[in-house]
Chains A and B, each alone.
Chain A
């Protein structure tokens, strides 16, 4: 993939591409399945990348401005909200850091769909993607999330070896969760939901989380 195309893809993902660049990216996606896969994956992990998962959040002013605008139902400049994804002037494109970044073999992040998800080797069918020095492998090739749909639809479970691989002689947390690990995590979520519900009995919403807990 040419650097120019990577830049266009980055701009398109961040909503900063002009019409010509968008058309070029979509044309290329029709010709190159790998580009389409990359597009889908960037969107699938976008929510985590946009500040929350990197451990390097957006600048507080930008993030708060965006959240307040969302809560107000307006754009950050005070105009009515566009149904499309809100744009942040001056926001550092997360995709730009991902594209072309190297893969550090010692540090791996595995991404699964949902708590109840299972690791699917067939999902690991494309080159690893990295951002901020942390590689990502096995990002499920799910359809790109609609830009207007809640990012939380992207239910992602990641196993992050980077956080614990500090020294060689220390016990390490596994980079990939087993079924038992996921069951244990779900049990703790349930206990948290129970405790929260019982202690916030003034509102039915916490109990709703108990009733709706993973019933699907």
Chain B
């Protein structure tokens, strides 16, 4: 019934009309405006991010120069860490000894597969999108959008969007118990003010290490077909990308599958069972879960399946148990 109502509503949905008043825009239009604002607006602000265990403070500076997005994220607490984006090029500026370097060295390196993305219209199959009211965040008027899942297989969200520009000012990820798993919130943000290009350049004091994250240039999927699949995924989730790479240290082949419903994502890693074995893990930190499972390959050998993503534990466990070789 709800989906039927939304299907009817979809007929009248048009691409965001910046001239429409806050009350006139639908939730889908607000989400589209939010994405446009992230990509096209200039902004410079400081925000807090609660990941379920700790609160981080970061500064973000974003501008579009010669039609190319430039962005710099600076971690304001703890070890200095910066992320600089220029178009599809992303560089992490880290200090020697940063644990991220050690972790990156233990996972397959190379470019990341580009994922298919779903439009916000497709979200209405799995989420109820509603503009629920107005509020004030970072001293700016905000429109509140509720993104409520239609089943238990994913989390819900509450978004505060700048009433003037649509920029996300605050977001909460909520689980089925009503607990807030992750919170993002600007404390201060200047929008559409001139950005000094100097603010977009990384600070690279002597000794810093740069780690590059590259997205493959074209949208083609890897030439070799996926060897594994999740035979059950929640409704609306689709395999958005896959990759087969080898770990640098052990040269073990690792299949990586990424699934998304347009908002939530989870990754499935499948690799030969290490000679030293592996542990059965069921964990959650904030909104991110990790579960492991042992599966049999087509060769009857044991494989380690690891599911990581922003979905409920039960969902991740069910996905992990459903992983099997393609063709089975």
A interface list, Cβ under 8 A from B: 47-48, 50-55, 57-58, 60, 63-64, 66-73, 86, 109, 114-115, 150-153, 155-161, 163-164, 170-178, 180-181, 183-205, 207-216
Within 8 Å CB of B152, what residues of A? Answer: 57-58, 60, 63-64
What's the Cα separation between A47 and B39 when bound, in Å?
36
Q: Does B193 lie at the interface of the complex (its beta carbon under 8 Å from any beta carbon of A)?
A: no
Contact A155 B53 (CB under 8 A): yes
Contact A195 B267 (CB under 8 A): yes
Contact A189 B178 (CB under 8 A): no
What's the Cα separation between A188 and B270 when bound, in Å?
11
Contact B284 A156 (CB under 8 A): yes
Whole-angstrom distance from the CB of A16 to the nearest CB of chain B? 16
Given A174-B277, A190-B103, A191-B107, decide whether A208 and B58 contact each other with a Cβ distance below 8 A: yes
Contact of B158 among A53, A71, A173, A187 (CB under 8 A): A71
Contact B77 A215 (CB under 8 A): yes
Within 8 Å CB of A54, what residues of B? Answer: 314
Residues 294-328 of chain B, each 1 if its beta carbon lies under 8 Å from chain A, else 0: 10000000101010110011100100010000000
Within 8 Å CB of B88, what residues of A? Answer: 198, 201
Within 8 Å CB of A50, what residues of B? Answer: 177
What's the Cα separation between A187 and B182 when bound, in Å?
20
Contact B157 A71 (CB under 8 A): yes
Contact A184 B73 (CB under 8 A): no
Within 8 Å CB of B85, what residues of A? Answer: 201, 207
What's the Cα separation between A70 and B180 when bound, in Å?
8
Contact of A72 among B34, B103, B146, B276 (CB under 8 A): B146
Contact B279 A188 (CB under 8 A): no
Contact A52 B174 (CB under 8 A): no
Contact B282 A158 (CB under 8 A): yes
Most buried by A among B39, B117, B175, B266: B175
What's the Cα separation between A173 and B281 when bound, in Å?
9
Within 8 Å CB of B172, what residues of A? Answer: 71
What's the Cα separation between A155 and B258 when bound, in Å?
24
Q: Does B228 lie at the interface of the complex (its beta carbon under 8 Å from any beta carbon of A)?
A: no
Closest to A115 in B: B285
Contact B38 A190 (CB under 8 A): no
Q: Does B293 lie at the interface of the complex (its beta carbon under 8 Å from any beta carbon of A)?
A: yes
Contact A198 B184 (CB under 8 A): no
Contact B213 A198 (CB under 8 A): yes
Given A199-B241, A208-B49, decide whether A155 and B284 contact each other with a Cβ distance below 8 A: yes
Within 8 Å CB of A55, what residues of B? Answer: 314, 317
Given A171-B273, A192-B309, decide whether A70 and B281 contact each other with a Cβ distance below 8 A: no
Q: Report the contact-size class of chain B (Cβ under 8 Å from the partner).
A: 35 or more
Most buried by B among A69, A176, A189: A189
Most buried by A among B177, B273, B293: B177
Contact B281 A158 (CB under 8 A): yes
Given A67-B178, A186-B103, decide whether A210 and B92 contact each other with a Cβ distance below 8 A: yes
Contact B240 A199 (CB under 8 A): yes
Contact B112 A189 (CB under 8 A): no
The 5 A-B pairs of least Cβ separation, nearest first, read A70-B178, A152-B52, A177-B279, A173-B280, A151-B179
Contact A199 B302 (CB under 8 A): no
Closest to B318 in A: A55
Contact A192 B168 (CB under 8 A): no
Q: Does B122 lie at the interface of the complex (its beta carbon under 8 Å from any beta carbon of A)?
A: no
Contact A171 B277 (CB under 8 A): yes
Given A67-B148, A194-B112, A195-B241, decide whether A215 and B174 contact each other with a Cβ distance below 8 A: no
Residues 260-288 of chain B, each 1 if its beta carbon lies under 8 Å from chain A, else 0: 00000111010001001111111111111
Closest to B293 in A: A163
What's the Cα separation between A66 and B83 when bound, in Å?
37
Given contacts A55-B314, A195-B115, A211-B92, 11 further A-B contacts (CB under 8 A): A109-B282, A173-B279, A173-B292, A175-B279, A189-B290, A203-B38, A208-B49, A211-B83, A215-B77, A216-B54, A216-B77
Q: Does B194 lie at the interface of the complex (its beta carbon under 8 Å from any beta carbon of A)?
A: no
Contact A63 B49 (CB under 8 A): no
Contact B281 A159 (CB under 8 A): yes
Whole-angstrom distance from the CB of B160 to the nearest CB of chain A? 12
Within 8 Å CB of B10, what residues of A? Answer: none
Most buried by B among A58, A157, A194: A194
Within 8 Å CB of B146, what residues of A? Answer: 68, 71-72
What's the Cα separation between A110 and B302 when bound, in Å?
23
Contact of B156 among A47, A67, A198 (CB under 8 A): A67
Within 8 Å CB of A63, what residues of B? Answer: 152, 176-177
Residues of B149-190 at the interface with A, using a CB-CB cut-off of 8 Å, are 149-152, 155-158, 168, 171-172, 174-182, 184
Contact A202 B313 (CB under 8 A): no
Contact B279 A178 (CB under 8 A): yes
Contact A52 B78 (CB under 8 A): no
Q: Does B104 lie at the interface of the complex (its beta carbon under 8 Å from any beta carbon of A)?
A: yes
Residues 195-214 of chain B, each 1 if its beta carbon lies under 8 Å from chain A, else 0: 00000000000000000010
